Amino acid sequence: MTNFLLISNPKSGSFNKETLADAVASFEKAGHVVSVCETSHKGDGAKIMAAADHEKTPAVIVAGGGGLVSEVIDALMNRDDYDKFTFGIIPTGSLNVLALEMGLTEPEAAVNAICSGKIQKITLGQAKTPEGTRLFTVLAGAGNDTWVVKKLNLKLKKCSGKWEFFKTFLRVSLISSIPSVKAEIDGRPYDGDMICACNGKYYGGPFRAAELSDLSEDEFEVVILKKVTLFDLMKHIFSAPMKYLLPEMNAVALKAKTLKITSDAPAYPLQIDGDIINTLPAEISVFPKKLALYTRLKIDKK
């Protein structure tokens, strides 16, 4: 028997009370005890995690989107007793890149994985920016896409999905040229329209940005897209899921444990796990602590 602290966001994309109730019932049927805490504002997840007691609830489960997952992990891993907790995800948001990376895209599958008790320790990244340091699980980067995400109307995105991303990219591109970004890796300079430090394979949903990244490795696959046109971007957005970005784009991929991303433009937005978090410059490195994460019995590496 394990005591679970279940942190949920009732406002996340695909959340419904029945999903949460089913998850709690499944945990209790398996002999676990569940304490549910709901968030109502940004930052609530971090506060709940900061107040958690590992002796009472050694397992922390997040039912929500990528923003809440990132927030809780950041608070958890900055605790001295981080290694006393095990973390789990029940994906209920519109985008949850870590859940996708672990092959846990459906709530029922996630609940079964947690009940199985199988744990994998994964590597995290950290991004130091002028506003502070934030952890990330799958990806940190800057470029054309981050300006689009920053300008994206989230309410319209829920209704029109990929088309809203397309329209926002077009609007941003027509108003002004999007500044390029630069990176310094092992003392060598690089530049491009998009630069991403990939800790996992997926980017912005079921599209693969990296081919060799693995959450268990202590280095990133850095993907540098030299030139991204509207046609290039939309071709991949509307193509089949699980498509790998690099073969058809003018890109460079290399392995690195640290890098620095900068831009000549002021207040250039930085994207972390699908959300705009802080601004450039960003010093990105492997976080020294590993997160214990409930996972599937078998992880699909394809």
Q: 222-258 pLDDT, tens per residue?
A: 999 888 776 666 666 566 454 555 545 678 899 999 9
Residues 6+ apart with CB under 8 A from 296: 102, 103, 104, 109, 113, 116, 118
Give tens-digit pLDDT for 82-96.
999 999 999 886 667
User: What are the boundaries of each domain within the chain?
Assistant: 3-117, 127-286
SS3 70: helix
Q: Residue 50 has which token pair?
A: 């900061």
**In whole angstroms, what separates CA 145 from the centre of its chain?**
15
Are 138 and 97 within 8 A, CB to CB? yes
Total-model pTM: 0.87
Determine the topology of domain 3-117 in CATH: Rossmann fold (3.40.50)
Q: How far apart are CA 100 and CA 202, in angstroms?
A: 8
Mean model confidence pLDDT for the chain: 85
Are 20 and 12 within 8 A, CB to CB? no
**Architecture of the domain delimited by 127-286:** Sandwich (2.60)
Are 127 and 138 within 8 A, CB to CB? no
SS3 298: coil
Instruction: Sheet containing 181-185: give its strands across.
Output: 132-136, 125-129, 282-286, 258-262, 181-185, 188-192
Q: Residue 175 has which token pair?
A: 């108003």
